[in-house]
Structure 1
């Protein structure tokens, strides 16, 4: 039996939301990928990953070795993995857009850039082959 998360609310500081969306906007021709590291206070840093997909505007894939290296860098900076992220330069962020080859279970953030001039950031929790959408809030 797989443990099912019960709390579906996640908090991401405004500064990180703005940095993640700005990073995604810098690459409208391809999906960007990365990790969100957390320290003892919560999410605190973005770590980029190369998108190695054969068609990087349509999909995202990461090199497991680079993911391992970034996990080591996180630990070296006193952080743990909080979430992974990627952008969706065209369209909206949806659960069908969540699959990134090379990442396991955990939180997934998707930044959508092409929604009538509005940037969108959505969150899902991937676990045991399932996806549950989380409410993403800014801490007060």
Structure 2
């Protein structure tokens, strides 16, 4: 199983976004460069059934990718939440995955509102779970 290091600040942001919208799936992109993951780009979910599906707003997705390129970064991960189911890729998640090699993160609030996040690499119709470790990126002396 591969290991991925995510900055604590990004993980905290993802968990907070999911908790702020417990009735619908949140979604977005995360950038990376050669040193690792850099920035979270929340994108509006434009799916018809936001409780069970996500669809990135095309305009928001284009703006996020443009911003990444301007910063010398690239797409590193796609994230979304499952309001009331485990953080496992659904058949729809696997079928709609269009970026091989990009980390796929799912945040779940299914356990009585306690967030849980898992990561996957999806190749074809196979989803392999990755181990997520936290990279402490909080500034020294910060109370975060």
Is the structural similarity TM-score above 0.5?
Answer: yes
Q: Deviations over 1:96-121 (max 9, x none)?
A: 27717474322110011131342101
- Tell me how many residue pairs correspond in the alignment: 134
Structure 1: 5+ residue stretches without partners: 1-6
Structure 2: 5+ residue stretches without partners: 137-144
Partner of 1:60: 54
Does the 8 A contact of 1:64 with 1:103 survive in 2? no
1:72 to 66, 69, 75: 66
- TM-score in terms of structure 1 length: 0.83
State the secondary structure of the residue aligned to 1:35: strand
**Cα deviation, residue 44, structure 1:** 1.6
- Note if 1:92 corresponds to 2:92: no
- Note if 1:104 corresponds to 2:99: yes
Partner of 1:4: none
Does the 8 A contact of 1:63 with 1:102 survive in 2? no
Q: Deviations over 1:5-32 (max 9, x none)?
A: xx61111111111111011111112111
